[in-house]
Amino acid sequence: MAEELKQVADLITANTIFCTKEVLTSDEAAKYMGVSKSYLYKLTMRQQIPHYKPMGKMCYFNRLELEQWLQNNRVSTSTEISQQAQAYCMKKGGAR
């Protein structure tokens, strides 16, 4: 029982540090984003994701920049698209 409590406490501590840490390693960034390390590596090689290489070898990631990157290319809901279409038609005088 005490060992299980220690494991739970360690897991909570790791997750708390992980969510509050500003600079993430490649392993941490892949876990944070829910992608494989190989996919993250491809993104860095293609320079499609912001990252840092202070000594030219290890990659580091800013957690806030990852969040912003993940929220790029938002897909509008069908309601939003309909509202935009109506607004455009009203502007052009085509809706009746």
pLDDT tens digit sequence for 10-44: 777 666 666 778 999 999 999 889 999 999 999 99
Q: Could you tell me if residue 47 is left (phi over 0), alpha (psi between -120 and 50 degrees) or otherwise beta?
A: left
CATH number of the domain bearing residue 38 = 1.10.1660
CA distance 28 to 61: 9
CA distance 62 to 72: 16
Whole-Å CA distances, 36 to 11, 26, 27, 50, 51: 21, 10, 9, 17, 16
Q: Are 86 and 95 in contact (CB under 8 A)?
A: yes
Domain total of the chain: 1
Q: pTM of the entire structure?
A: 0.66
Determine phi and psi for 23, rounding to 5 degrees. Answer: -105, 125
CA distance 63 to 32: 9
Whether pLDDT at 93 is above 60: yes
Name the DSSP letter for residue 54.
T
Q: Is 9 part of a structural domain of the chain?
A: no
Q: Is 45 part of a structural domain of the chain?
A: yes
Which residues span the domain enclosing 43? 23-92
Q: Is 76 part of a structural domain of the chain?
A: yes
Name the DSSP letter for residue 75.
P
Q: Is 6 part of a structural domain of the chain?
A: no
pLDDT score at 5: 80
